[in-house]
């Protein structure tokens, strides 16, 4: 909400020329969803401070932005009017545009002079805490003082908020300072940005010129700035790094655990010689995409409970552009394993990749009955995390890998479950590790393959 | 001449082109009842003479006929139908749909047809084709009955056709929809006369055993489910009693397989004297021939099944599928007598019966016998009440509509069953309910409720509900009710307020409600609490096998407590209070479902608090402080001073915001920090309390609140007479006082639970939230005049329409549960309600 820029450069009043804002006047201008005010709390030869204060209209903020989440209450009561976010970047760009672009009509020579600058941001939301502040501003040579605020001093047990009052000191040109702030405020916030389109890539490259290329956290900065939109982020990174190979997820050297898991499952399916497969909990359709390539399969159904996931899966599989032959082969349906569903019957194989751990343990019996009793495919492949492997990344014993996991099993627990299910529904089973095994902890994922007896 | 046809039949017109079929059909049937091959040809090809469209045209014709018959509509097929293969397909269709095929043959002289064709302008059919038709018709004429037509009417000349005065549609024998009971339905008697007399006495009827007479108590009617005979000691006496009651019109009787086998025997057919028939035959030898004749007539006249009480009740010996109810065919009759078998035999050499009720989804309750069971079990709205009296079990009666089961034990075991007769280890319904069928939940749904006739739930919403339900909710067996959403009052006319009681009172006054109740709105989380006397009740009544005494869930069906042990301990405290205070005896129940508010708010709303309220509070107060500091030291020009004043005002609002949410939070260390404020006693065993007014609910609940270690607290309330100005003013002052102290506000409800006005259902509740409380809903600075002015433009109609639909669905769900409807029917309502919750509505309302 508030940014102050202070200099002890002599004469300090040069700040007024540099910012192209008169120290004696309060100046206000419109920004998206409100106004910004520029004024000078202190003006002297020794020290001069300029403040930019946001005046966001909370009612305007939520009007007609037409996105579906406007029916969530957090749209209406939130921190946006009070924090330094992308609104602050917009205000900097509008209020200090000449300074940001390295222009100064009255004192052009000053533009390239590094002067002592201190800025204060109240309040700055930081995703990632002090450490993140350090990672972002440290490499740029800033001295950082940060006061982190409690969520509520009345209830200290609720812990700390993500809001900081931050003071940064550096001796640099004003243009550099403003460029840094322009890019890095939204990066630290890493919350709702009120923009992000293709133009942003260019803006990022412009404002990042001369410092972002060298920043050790450039990858993260780009991703967060572009709100984790991978295609845009990759585009920006490519331009930043030019010919250097980009280490992204598409790089075969860094195949993620999940892709590896899916490849193993797809290979298992191919080896089993089945013709029809149902992917229960198909999510965004990654396994389906692999299965579509297998010529021996005549029927593939992807089922998921989430309409949103199915929509993404449909796009990923380009379902509206499939040929008649492919459409015969593939379909997507919404369904839940806690309900009786006759559409699941008559398949050779059912795959449940990272599905069971998303069900409350007491609803697992419903899934078992649905899959092993009613649908009763010849083969059932189940993968689930191996809890023992968690020691490789955490010491907390009850820490789960995903916030929606209702349980994670040790190898013995999975075996026990397989034993029970196999006994109850007449299936044999074998368990295989998926991923690189760690001494004493096993592989990250475990896969159980059930065969109907 | 009058032609009499069954009200549900497939009438096949047979006749050559030009024989007058269409004219005849058009004269006697509604145009929508006639499916004509010419019309189908025209629909398919634009040309009703197009012969190459015939195959497609007949596909369409058969399709339409089948759809109509499935829906129970009389249908006339207008086509030549002169070839046996054409008719065979239609007869088969009629059979598939259990509809009676009837033939009306237009057997006109050849010349009549030829002449008529000549006169036609729209088309001409070659004479030789007509000659062919006539020849084919005559060839098949004698074989129509053999082909399956149950009735054949032949018209041999135009004069014959003209002589028809009327076509009379006769109701089927099984249609007794106008009989509304109440009924006492009695299971398989199998000659157990003493037990029958005892049971009739228990049911309150007067029996003269020696005279074989029963005098049925006022207005009731007996229904016998067949198998009156065989195996038991006194078959003739049983028949005598039943026959006399049926004759007097105080009883109905449907046939069982044993009755029909006896009929065959009496008719002199060759039947094996086994399975207890030998016992009956021996007993009949003592009887006079006249009785045997009478018995024969009685048995011969028995109707396979009855549809009673406006279609709400079906009785048949072995049960009856929905698609066969009220229909007549030999398949239907066989099903009524023998049920469905798989064709396999079990280890005792008996046919394996397929439990047809597994797939039963009909609206009619089906009461049947045939298969002896140790205890009758409700299953998908059906019940088998043959409790094996003759095998030493008991003789059972079901009272309808009360759904009450009464029985008398067998005096002895008259016959050893060939299959062991063991108590069931599982409850069929509960086992079946473990996995409700998805088919009835997805897609667009129409739900009929008692308060609102037809509630439509859109497809996108049911899809959302499926995700919510399966990812986050409790097992559907627990979800017997969800509370409706609640609308706020219209926006206030007063400049400082967004909401004020005046508008709520005005709303009800406008709807001609005179008395309302104002209840303090606790700031907690809505909680539905089900508490059982002990864990066996949970198992038996709710079918939940895990060890628990109840549940506590949120308004979207999620478990309120993350920790099961804590939940059970909390419910245990409530259970103990109810037990100590004699609740179970007072309400004659072993479980109860409360609608309530559970405090503190932060117990459930932790995430919301941290991520939204406390976060906004922390951000705003800290940012405002710095902003004020900067402005304060700035040279105070007029513009700066104005800005400073403005930010000071806003800083104050941010502090008020923090104060507002803090009101509702307190530290939760242990169970004793939780408070439950029940405000509705929703249901107990066999009963809901929607017929009681809110004062009753408040007063009853108060009896169980307060005292050491009791987590239950009362809710402050006022009953307001809207025509009494003092009463209204006093309530308004009360609201001002409550909200002035930082309270959330109050809820105004019509005094009676369900209030209907001229325009239908009236809002069951309207909330009026306090000025300070609304900061956490509309944001810290909502009271700035510029903001308030814009916020006042809010529409309530979507919210109110949802509130009514959800109210109706919630009540429907609970009524169905209490009436022991199958879970799918309860779940349908709850699922629909959750689906409606995904409608996009301003969440601040």
In angstroms, the CA B405 to CA B399 distance is 6
Task: Indicate which CATH number applies to the domain containing B154.
Answer: 3.40.50.300
Count how many residues are written for chain A.
453
Identify whether B30 is part of a domain. yes
Q: Report the pLDDT value the prediction gives residue B618, as an integer from 0 to 100.
A: 93
Determine contact: B668 vs chain A, CB below 8 A: no
CATH number of the domain that residue B315 is part of: 3.60.21.10
Q: Say how many Å lie between the first and final Cα of chain B, rounded.
A: 70
CB atoms closer than 10 angstroms to residue A432: 14
Contact A81 B620 (CB under 8 A): yes
Residue B441 lies in a domain: no
Per-residue tokens: B389: 């009296």
The residues near B249 (Cβ < 8 Å, ≥ 6 apart) are none
Q: Do B512 and B540 belong to one domain?
A: no
Give the C-alpha distances (Å, rounded to integers) separating A53 from A38, A182, B507, B623: 6, 15, 44, 10
Same domain, B584 and B688: yes
Cross-chain Cβ contact B546/A335 below 8 Å: no
Q: Which of B438, B622, B844 comes nearest A165 by C-beta?
A: B622
Q: Is residue B803, in this structure, part of any structural domain at all?
A: no
**Is the minimum CB–CB distance between B637 and chain A shorter than 8 Å?**
yes
CA distance A215 to A142: 13
Average pLDDT, rounded, for chain A: 86
Distance CA A172, CA A179 (A): 11
**Using CA atoms, how far apart are residues A281 and A305, in angstroms rounded to an integer?**
7
Torsion of the alpha carbons at B189, B194, B200 and B204, rounded to the nearest 10: -160
Is position B737 within any domain? yes
pLDDT tens digit sequence for A284-309: 999 999 999 999 999 999 999 999 89
Q: Across the interface, do A366 and B442 touch by the CB < 8 Å criterion?
A: no
Question: Does B161 lie in the same domain as B75?
Answer: yes
Dihedral-angle region of residue B323 (phi above 0 means left; psi in -120 to 50 means alpha; beta otherwise): alpha
- Residue B348: pLDDT over 70: no
| Joined tokens for residue B238 | 């049983």
Chain A contact present for B628, CB below 8 A:
no
The pLDDT of residue B841 is: 83
Give the pLDDT confidence of B703-759 residue by residue, as tens digits.
999 888 899 999 999 999 999 999 999 999 999 999 988 889 999 999 999 999 888
Pair B139, B255 in one domain? no
What does the pLDDT read at residue B431? 75
One domain for residues B138 and B182: no
Q: What is the pLDDT of residue B179?
A: 93
Nearest to A313 by CA among A326, A322, A323, A303: A303
pLDDT of residue B320 exceeding 80, the answer is yes
Range of the domain at B106: 2-170
Same domain assignment for residues B548 and B650: no
Find all residues with CB under 8 Å of A310, minimum gap 6, and list them.
Answer: A282, A302, A304, A332, A333, A334
**End-of-domain residue from the set B137, B155, B170:** B170
Does residue B480 lie within any of the structural domains?
A: no
- The mean pLDDT of A237-262, rounded to a whole number, is 54
Q: Is residue B829 part of a domain?
A: no
Q: pLDDT, tens digit, for every residue of B197-225? A: 999 999 999 999 999 999 998 889 999 99
**What are the tens digits of pLDDT across the range B100-139?**
999 999 999 988 888 888 887 777 777 788 888 888 988 8
Give the pLDDT score at A234.
59
Identify each DSSP E strand in B646-716 by its residue range: 675-684, 687-688
- Chain B positions touching A125 (Cβ under 8 A) are 619
B783 found inside a domain: no
Yes or no: domain A2-61+68-195 corresponds to CATH 3.30.1610.20: yes
B578 and B558 share a domain?
yes
* Same domain for B751 and B692: no
Number of CB atoms found within 10 A of residue B297's CB: 12
**Whether A259 contacts chain B with CB within 8 A:** no
Q: Is B811 a domain residue?
A: no
Q: How many Cβ contacts (< 8 angstroms) between chains A and B?
A: 190
Measured between CB atoms, does A305 come within 8 Å of chain B?
yes
Mean local confidence (pLDDT), B459-471: 91
Q: Does A369 touch chain B (CB under 8 A)?
A: yes
Cβ atoms of A309 and A315 within 8 Å: the answer is no
- A41/B631 Cβ within 8 A: yes
Give the pLDDT confidence score for residue A249 in this predicted structure.
Answer: 40
| Whether residue B314 is found in the same domain as residue B253 | yes
Regarding whether B156 and B264 lie in a shared domain, the answer is no
Question: Using CA atoms, how far apart are residues A15 and B577, in angstroms rounded to an integer?
Answer: 73
Residue A229: pLDDT band (50, 70, 90) is low
pLDDT of residue B450: 93
Query: In this model, does residue A360 exceed pLDDT 80?
Result: yes
DSSP, collapsed to helix, strand or coil, labels residue B675 as strand
Distance CA(B579)–CA(B341), nearest Å, equals: 49
Nearest CA in chain A to B793: A59
Can you identify the CATH homologous superfamily of domain A256-452?
Answer: Vaccinia Virus protein VP39 (3.40.50.150)
- pLDDT grade for B839, boundaries at 50, 70 and 90: confident
Do B703 and B724 lie in a common domain?
no
Band of pLDDT at residue B612, cut at 50, 70 and 90: confident
What CATH code is carried by the domain that includes residue B511?
3.30.1490
Task: Give the strand pairing for B404-409 and B100-106.
Answer: unpaired
Whether A142 has a pLDDT exceeding 60, the answer reads yes
Domain layout of chain A by residue ranges: 2-61+68-195, 197-254, 256-452
Is A59–B791 a contact, with Cβ atoms under 8 angstroms apart?
yes
Task: Report the residue of chain B nearest A77, measured CA to CA.
Answer: B779
Q: Taking a contact as any Cβ pair under 8 Å apart, which residues of chain B between 565 and 624 contact chain A?
A: 609-620, 622-624
CA distance B708 to A210: 71
ipTM over 0.85: no
What is the H or E stretch that residue B137 is in? helix B127-141
In whole angstroms, give the CA distance from residue B530 to residue B387: 33
> For residue B698, what are its two tokens?
């408040």
Pair A79, B619: CB distance under 8 Å: yes
**What is the rounded average pLDDT of the residues B620-639?**
92
Same domain, B690 and B735: no
Number of domain units in chain B:
5
Give me the DSSP letters along B59-100: HHHHHHHHHHHHTT--EEEES---SHHHHHHHHHHHHHTT-E
Provide the pLDDT for residue A67.
47
- Please tell me which of the candidates B437, B609, B841 has its beta carbon nearest to residue A71: B841
């Amino acid at each position: 909400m508030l940014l102050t820029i202070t200099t002890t450069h002599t004469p300090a009043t040069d700040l007024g020329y540099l910012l192209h804002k008169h120290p004696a006047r309060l100046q206000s201008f419109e920004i998206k969803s409100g106004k910004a005010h520029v004024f000078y709390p202190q003006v002297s030869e020794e020290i001069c401070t300029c403040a930019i204060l946001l005046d966001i209209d909370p009612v305007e903020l939520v009007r007609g932005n037409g996105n579906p989440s406007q029916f969530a209450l957090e749209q209406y009561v939130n921190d946006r009017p009070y924090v330094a976010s992308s609104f602050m970047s917009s205000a900097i760009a509008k209020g200090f545009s000449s300074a940001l672009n390295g222009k100064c009509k009255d004192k052009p020579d000053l533009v390239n002079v590094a002067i002592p600058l201190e800025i204060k941001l109240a309040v700055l939301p930081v995703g990632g805490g002090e450490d993140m502040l350090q990672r972002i501003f440290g490499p740029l040579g800033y001295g950082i003082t940060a006061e982190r605020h409690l969520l509520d001093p009345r209830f200290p047990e609720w812990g700390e908020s993500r809001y900081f009052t931050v003071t940064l000191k550096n001796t640099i040109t004003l243009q550099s300072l403003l460029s840094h702030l322009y890019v890095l405020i939204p990066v630290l916030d890493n919350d709702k940005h009120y923009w992000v389109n293709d133009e942003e890539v260019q803006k990022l490259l412009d404002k990042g010129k001369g410092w972002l290329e060298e920043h050790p956290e450039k990858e993260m900065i780009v991703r967060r700035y572009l709100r984790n939109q991978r295609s845009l982020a990759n585009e920006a990174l490519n331009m930043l790094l030019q010919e250097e190979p980009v280490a992204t997820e598409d790089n075969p050297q860094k195949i993620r655990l999940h892709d590896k898991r899916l490849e193993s499952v797809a290979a298992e399916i191919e080896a089993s010689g089945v013709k029809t497969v149902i992917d229960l909990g198909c999510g965004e359709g990654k396994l389906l995409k692999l299965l579509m390539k297998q010529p021996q399969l005549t029927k593939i159904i992807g089922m998921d409970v989430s309409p949103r996931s199915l929509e993404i899966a449909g796009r990923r599989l380009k379902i509206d552009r499939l040929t008649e032959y492919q459409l015969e082969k593939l379909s997507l349906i919404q369904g839940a394993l806690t309900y009786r569903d006759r559409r699941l019957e008559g398949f050779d194989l059912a795959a449940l990749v990272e599905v069971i751990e998303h069900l409350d343990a007491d609803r697992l019996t419903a899934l078992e009955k649905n899959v092993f009793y009613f649908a009763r495919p010849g083969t059932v492949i189940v993968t689930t995390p191996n809890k023992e492997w968690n020691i490789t990344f955490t010491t907390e014993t009850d820490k789960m890998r995903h916030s929606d996991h209702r349980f994670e099993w040790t190898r013995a627990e999975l075996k026990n479950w397989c034993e029970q299910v196999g006994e109850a529904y007449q299936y044999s089973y074998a368990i295989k590790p998926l991923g690189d095994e760690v001494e004493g902890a096993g592989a990250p994922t475990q896969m159980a393959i059930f065969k109907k007896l | 001449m009058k032609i009499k046809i069954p009200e549900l039949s497939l009438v096949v017109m047979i006749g050559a082109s030009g024989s007058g079929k269409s004219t005849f059909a058009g004269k006697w049937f509604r145009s929508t009842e006639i499916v004509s091959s010419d019309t189908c040809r025209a629909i398919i090809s634009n040309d009703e003479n197009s012969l190459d469209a015939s195959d497609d045209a007949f596909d369409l014709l058969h399709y339409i006929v089948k759809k109509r018959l499935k829906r129970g509509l009389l249908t006339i097929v207008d086509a030549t139908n002169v070839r046996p293969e054409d008719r065979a397909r239609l007869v088969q269709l009629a059979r598939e749909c259990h509809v009676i095929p009837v033939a009306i043959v237009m057997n006109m002289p050849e010349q009549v047809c030829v002449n008529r064709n000549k006169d036609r302008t729209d088309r001409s059919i070659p004479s030789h084709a007509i000659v062919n038709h006539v020849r084919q018709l005559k060839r098949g004429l004698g074989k129509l009955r053999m082909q399956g037509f149950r009735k054949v009417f032949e018209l041999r000349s135009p004069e014959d056709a003209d002589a028809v005065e009327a076509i009379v549609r006769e109701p089927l024998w099984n249609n007794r929809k106008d009989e509304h009971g109440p009924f006492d339905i009695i299971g398989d008697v199998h000659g157990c006369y003493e037990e029958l007399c005892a049971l009739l006495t228990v049911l309150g009827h007067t029996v003269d055993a020696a005279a074989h007479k029963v005098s049925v108590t006022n207005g009731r009617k007996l229904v016998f489910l067949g198998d009156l005979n065989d195996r038991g000691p006194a078959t003739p006496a049983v028949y005598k009693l039943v026959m006399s009651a049926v004759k007097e019109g105080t009883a109905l009787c449907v046939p069982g397989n044993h009755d029909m086998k006896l009929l065959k025997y009496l008719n002199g057919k060759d039947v094996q004297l086994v399975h207890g028939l030998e016992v009956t035959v021996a007993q009949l030898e003592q009887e006079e021939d006249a009785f045997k004749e009478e018995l024969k007539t009685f048995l011969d006249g028995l109707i396979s099944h009855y549809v009673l009480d406006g279609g709400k009740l079906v009785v048949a010996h072995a049960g009856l599928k929905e698609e066969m109810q009220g229909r007549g065919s030999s398949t239907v009759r066989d099903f009524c007598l023998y049920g469905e078998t798989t064709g396999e035999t079990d280890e005792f050499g008996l046919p394996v019966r397929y439990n047809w009720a597994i797939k039963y989804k009909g609206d009619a309750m089906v009461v049947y016998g045939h298969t002896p069971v140790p205890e009758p079990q409700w299953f998908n709205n059906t019940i088998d009440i043959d409790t094996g009296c003759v095998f030493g079990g008991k003789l059972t009666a079901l009272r309808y509509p009360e759904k009450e089961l009464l029985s008398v034990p067998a005096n002895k075991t008259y016959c050893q069953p060939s299959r062991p007769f063991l108590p069931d280890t599982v409850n069929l319904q509960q086992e079946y309910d473990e996995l409700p069928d998805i088919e009835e939940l997805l897609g667009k749904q129409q739900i009929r409720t008692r308060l609102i006739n037809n509630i439509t739930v859109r497809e996108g919403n049911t899809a959302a509900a499926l995700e919510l339900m399966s990812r986050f909710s409790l097992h559907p067996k627990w979800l017997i009710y969800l509370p409706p959403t609640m609308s706020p009052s219209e926006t206030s006319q007063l400049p400082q307020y967004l909401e004020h009681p005046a508008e709520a009172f005005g709303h009800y006054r406008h709807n001609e409600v005179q008395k309302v109740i104002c209840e303090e709105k606790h700031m907690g989380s809505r909680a539905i609490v089900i508490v059982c006397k002990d864990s066996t009740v949970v198992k038996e009544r709710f079918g939940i096998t895990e060890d628990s005494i109840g549940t506590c869930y949120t308004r979207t069906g999620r478990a309120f407590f993350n920790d099961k042990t804590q939940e059970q301990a909390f419910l245990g405290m409530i259970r103990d209070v109810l037990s100590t205070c004699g609740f179970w005896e007072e309400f004659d129940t072993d479980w109860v479902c409360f609608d309530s508010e559970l405090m503190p708010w932060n117990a459930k709303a932790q995430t919301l608090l941290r991520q939204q309220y406390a976060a906004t509070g922390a951000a705003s107060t800290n940012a405002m402080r710095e902003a004020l500091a900067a402005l304060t030291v700035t040279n105070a020009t007029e513009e700066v001073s104005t800005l400073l004043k403005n930010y000071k005002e806003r800083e104050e609002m941010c502090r008020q915001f923090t104060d507002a949410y803090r009101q509702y939070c307190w530290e939760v260390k242990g169970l004793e920090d939780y408070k439950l404020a029940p405000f509705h006693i929703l249901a107990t065993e066999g009963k809901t309390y929607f017929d009681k007014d809110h004062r009753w609910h408040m007063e009853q609940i108060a009896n169980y609140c307060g005292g050491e270690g009791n987590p239950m607290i009362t809710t402050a309330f006022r009953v307001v007479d809207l025509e009494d100005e003092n009463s209204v003013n006093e309530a308004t002052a009360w609201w001002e006082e409550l909200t002035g102290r930082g309270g959330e506000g109050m809820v105004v409800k019509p005094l009676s639970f369900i209030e209907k006005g001229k325009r239908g259902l009236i809002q069951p509740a309207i909330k009026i939230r306090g000025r300070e409380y609304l900061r956490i809903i509309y944001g810290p600075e909502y009271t700035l005049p510029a903001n308030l002015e814009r916020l006042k433009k809010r529409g309530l109609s979507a919210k109110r329409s949802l509130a009514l639909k959800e109210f109706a669905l919630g009540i429907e769900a609970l009524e169905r549960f209490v009436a022991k409807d199958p879970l799918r029917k309860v779940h349908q309502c709850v699922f629909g309600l959750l689906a409606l919750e995904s409608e996009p509505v301003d969440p601040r309302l």
